[in-house]
Structure 1
Amino acid sequence: MLDDFMTRATLAGIGVAIAAAPLGCFVVWRRMAYFGDATAHAAILGVALSLAFQMSIFIGAMAVALIMAMTVTLLAGRGYAMDTLLGVLAHSSLAFGLVAVSFLSGIRIDLMAYLFGDILAVSRLDLAVIWGGAALVVALIAWRWSALLTSTLSDELAYASGRDPRREQLILTLSLAVTVAVAIKVVGVLLIAAMLVIPAAAARGLARTPEAMAVTAGVIGAVSAAAGLRAAYVFDTPAGPSIVCVAAVLFAALNLVGWRSQRGA
């Protein structure tokens, strides 16, 4: 079954959706959308370093994404507004990554595949990495679910309950780095933040509990991946952007239905 490239691509998309769903909910609740975007942009520098030192792209992208996320966490509140700091680091790391790629002599690289994804070229090894990373992210979030929710509501509430919100932020940072690393092959660094935010935002109006929102976001992400791949095959469009377009259409449709039901009530 895995010999079929469309099957591998669909499974890869679903794996990324599963990883991004619970993490995307926390990104939405904490208003960290730009934080996720900055971490994803940094991954292109990790790709360049991985190719230069002939190491795994997954490890290089995850390491640089993690360094970026931890740097932002450490520098936040030290004289710069968060959005300013994220803007500087996001765009500078992307620029340095693109420049570093241009210095790689003797290495053929499809830069568009890393920027916008190349899900149709997913191999069995890529599939194992994606699902392994998704399992790690889901395990981390499930392990710290209650503590993460408490620290999301309030730092003071977290301290009062004996939890350290900085540790929970570190767990989110690690999960975000893993998700970025596994999603590069599927949607590329420029669209990873969309797969984090859009399904979670679409699920927000449908769910009554945080757990239901995470599950619903996963379903919306998986449907977006499968339908986006089908649309890319039928209309001969780029697969990664097609997946994000389907997610955006679902977001708009679900919000329209919710708006009409509220008016009808």
Structure 2
Amino acid sequence: MLDDFIVRAGLAGVGVALAAAPLGCFVVWRRMAYFGDATSHAAILGVALALAADLPVFAGVLAVALAMALIITTLSERQVSTDALLGVLAHSALALGLVAVSMIEGVRVDLESYLFGEILAVTATDLAVIWTGAGLVLALLIWRWQALLTATLSPDLASASGISPRREQLVLTLALAVTVAVAIKVVGALLIAAMLIIPAATARPFARTPEAMATFAALIGSLATMGGLTGAFTFDTPAGPSIVTMAAVLFASSAALSPLLRRG
């Protein structure tokens, strides 16, 4: 069954959605949208590092994404203007990565596949990496769920309960880095943040509890993946952007239904 590239593409997209969407709930709750953007843009620099050092792309992207997330966390704790910091780092990391990739000699690089994803070219090995990474992210979120939720809602209450907000921030940082590393093949560096944020934002009006929002977000992310792939085949459009477009359509539908749900 895995010899069928359509099946592999669908499984890869769902794997990314199952990890990215619940993690995206914390990104939305903590208002960390630009944080995710900066980390995902740094993925291109990780690609350059992997190609230059002859390492697996996953390893290079994971290392750089984790380093970028830790840098942002450290600098934000020193009360540097967060918005300005994230804006500078997001665009600088992307530009530096593009320059670094262009300077690598003897390696032919399809930049478009790293920027916008190449889900239709996912191999069985890629699929194993994606689902392993997604499983690790989900296991980490389930294990630390209550502590993460408490630290997100009230850092002071978390500290009083013996929970370290800094430690939980580092847990999110690690989960985000792994998600970026597994998602770059599916939707590319420019669209990873969209798959983190849009399903979570879409699920928000339908959920009454944090757990329900995370579950709905995962379902919406999976639906966006399958709908986007269907649209890509039907209209001959790029698969990665088609998936994000489908997610945006679902978000618009959710926003339109939201007032009706409030009245109900």
Q: TM-score range by the shorter chain?
A: over 0.9
Per the alignment, residue 173 of structure 1 pairs with 173
Per the alignment, residue 101 of structure 1 pairs with 101
Per the alignment, residue 254 of structure 1 pairs with 254
Instruction: Give the CA deviation at 1:261.
Output: 4.3
Cα shift readout 1:154-188 (whole Å, capped 9, x = no counterpart): 11111010000000000000000000000000000
Long gaps (5+) in structure 1 = none
Letter in 1 for 2:80: Y
- How far apart, CA to CA, are the structure 2 residues paired with 1:201 and 1:73? 23
Instruction: Give the CA deviation at 1:153.
Output: 0.8
- How far apart, CA to CA, are the structure 1 residues paired with 2:96 and 2:218? 33
- How far apart, CA to CA, are the structure 2 residues paired with 1:79 and 1:131? 37
Provide TM-score, normalisation by structure 1.
0.98
Shifted more, 80-89 versus 120-129: the winner is 80-89
Shifted more, 206-215 versus 69-78: the winner is 69-78
Letter in 2 for 1:117: G
Per the alignment, residue 53 of structure 1 pairs with 53
Per the alignment, residue 201 of structure 2 pairs with 201
Cα shift readout 1:239-261 (whole Å, capped 9, x = no counterpart): 00000000000011122122234
Per the alignment, residue 2 of structure 2 pairs with 2
Per the alignment, residue 182 of structure 2 pairs with 182
Letter in 2 for 1:96: L
Letter in 2 for 1:211: E
Alignment of 1:114-129 (within 5 A): 114-129=114-129
Q: Does the aligned pair in 1 maintain the 2:5–2:122 contact within 8 Å?
A: yes
Q: Does the aligned pair in 1 maintain the 2:47–2:61 contact within 8 Å?
A: yes
Shifted more, 88-97 versus 76-85: the winner is 76-85
- How far apart, CA to CA, are the structure 2 residues paired with 1:196 and 1:10? 18
Long gaps (5+) in structure 2 = none
Shifted more, 78-87 versus 200-209: the winner is 78-87
Count the aligned residue pairs.
Answer: 264
3-state SS of paired residue (1:185): coil
Instruction: Give the CA deviation at 1:88.
Output: 1.1
Matched, 1:159 2:181: no
Per the alignment, residue 27 of structure 2 pairs with 27
Runs of 4+ in 1 over 6 A off after TM superposition: none
Between the two proteins, what is the percent identity of the paired residues? 67
Cα shift readout 1:130-160 (whole Å, capped 9, x = no counterpart): 0000000000000000000000011111101
Per the alignment, residue 149 of structure 1 pairs with 149
Provide TM-score, normalisation by structure 2.
0.98
How has the CA–CA distance of structure 1 residues 214 and 79 changed in structure 2, closer, same or farther, with 3 Å as cutoff? closer
